């Protein structure tokens, strides 16, 4: 068996050498058959080629195409530069706004719970007697709708037409701008935010883009009393069943926010059946405990 293997290896090597020898011979024979240019003919060809290159002018369409491509590249680079510059300027303005809020460290109270007469009375008392400023999202949207040149006008108008929610980004921008305007005036540094947030993810974005709220108030009112009050509200077009569904949805999405602040000991449930003075006293004591 060993003898057979050695024999096959030797035979393979001999075959390979034979193939290489045949290839080398054929290539040498082919090269000798190629015609060689004489020196005079080569010089003549070189001279003609140089003259052709000197007399060559590019086609006008080729020039136009090249210029078009160059202009397109220039325009694209310019767009990128302007976009980058605009982004950096916008970011710089946002940073300045955020720095202003951080330096002032305003007191922010969230007023959660469905709108009702008792809630409005307490908010009015905090504004008039305790120097709070109310930021109400519904009023912000109404103001932007009265100004067609506003950057938010079309979005808010479309949301009302389609009965859809206004984006969180727009809502936060309006809240922040309104807050900064008041802080820059130097008149007030305490705020009530009503109508926002309504979900936990909205609260997270509020904390990230503005500031952590100091306190969250949840206005609790018996469902029967609240539904009866909302049914009699001027301009109401909803039936009792529709109001019940809206209240259930609102409480379902808002209650996790209440629980979140209660765990942090920064939440307070306000009973609308209690007197105004008792509720105000409760709020002031809670704020004193938080600040100390």
Whether residue 155 contacts residue 165, with contact meaning beta carbons closer than 8 Å, is answered with no
DSSP bridge partners of 131: none
**Cα–Cα distance for residue pair 126/131, rounded to 1 Å:** 7
**pLDDT tens string 234-251:** 878 888 888 888 888 888
Please state the rounded mean pLDDT for residues 210-232.
89
pLDDT bin (cut points 50, 70, 90) of residue 5 is: very low
Residue with tokens 């807050």: 179
pLDDT bin (cut points 50, 70, 90) of residue 77 is: confident
Residue 89: count other Cβ atoms within 10 Å of its Cβ.
10
Please state the rounded mean pLDDT for residues 177-188.
93
φ, ψ for residue 28, nearest 5 deg: -70, -40
**Cα–Cα distance for residue pair 178/198, rounded to 1 Å:** 19
Whether residue 174 contacts residue 144, with contact meaning beta carbons closer than 8 Å, is answered with yes
**Cα–Cα distance for residue pair 13/15, rounded to 1 Å:** 5
Q: How many CA atoms lie within 13 A of 263 on its CB side?
A: 6
Instruction: Indicate the range of 62-71, 101-110, 114-123 predicted with least confidence.
Output: 62-71
58 or 7, which is more confident = 58
- Angle at 281 (CA atoms; ends 199, 221), nearest 5 degrees: 45
| Cα–Cα distance list, 34 to 29, 30, 79 (Å) | 9, 7, 59
**Cα–Cα distance for residue pair 17/11, rounded to 1 Å:** 10
Residues above pLDDT 70, as percent of the chain: 74
**Alpha helix (H) residue ranges in 34-136:** 39-54, 60-104, 117-130
pLDDT confidence of residue 196: 96
**Structure tokens, 121:** 């009375």
Q: Domains of the chain (ranges plus CATH)? A: 93-291 (3.40.50.300)
Whether residue 112 contacts residue 219, with contact meaning beta carbons closer than 8 Å, is answered with yes
Check residue 235 and give left, alpha or beta (phi > 0: left; psi -120 to 50: alpha).
left
**Cα–Cα distance for residue pair 97/136, rounded to 1 Å:** 20
**Structure tokens, 180:** 């900064």
**Cα–Cα distance for residue pair 48/217, rounded to 1 Å:** 94
């Amino acid at each position: 068996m060993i003898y057979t293997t050695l024999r096959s290896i030797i035979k393979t090597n001999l075959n390979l050498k034979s193939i290489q020898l045949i290839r080398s011979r054929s290539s040498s024979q082919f090269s000798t058959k190629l015609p060689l240019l004489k020196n005079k003919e080569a010089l003549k060809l070189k001279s003609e080629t140089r003259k052709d290159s000197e007399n060559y002018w590019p086609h006008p369409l080729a020039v136009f195409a090249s210029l078009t491509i160059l202009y397109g590249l220039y325009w694209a680079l310019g767009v990128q530069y302007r976009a980058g510059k605009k982004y950096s300027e916008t970011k710089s303005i946002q940073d300045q706004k955020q720095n202003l809020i951080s330096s002032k460290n305003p007191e922010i109270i969230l007023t959660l719970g469905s709108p009702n007469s008792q809630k409005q009375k307490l908010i009015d008392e905090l504004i008039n007697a305790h120097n709070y400023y109310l930021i109400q999202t519904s009023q912000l949207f109404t103001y932007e709708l009265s100004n067609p040149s506003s950057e938010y006008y079309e979005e808010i108008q479309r949301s009302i037409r389609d009965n859809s929610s206004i984006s969180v980004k727009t809502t936060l921008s309006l809240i922040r701008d309104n807050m900064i305007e008041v802080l820059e005036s130097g008149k007030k540094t305490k705020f009530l935010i009503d109508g926002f947030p309504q979900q936990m993810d909205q609260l997270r974005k509020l904390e990230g883009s503005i500031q952590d709220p100091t306190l969250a108030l949840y206005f609790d009112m018996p469902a029967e009393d609240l539904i009866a009050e909302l049914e009699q509200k001027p301009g109401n077009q909803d039936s009792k069943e529709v109001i019940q569904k809206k209240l259930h949805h609102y409480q379902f999405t808002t209650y996790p926010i209440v629980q979140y602040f209660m765990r942090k000991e920064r939440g307070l449930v306000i009973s609308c059946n209690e007197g105004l003075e008792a509720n105000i006293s409760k709020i002031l004591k809670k704020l004193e405990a938080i600040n100390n």
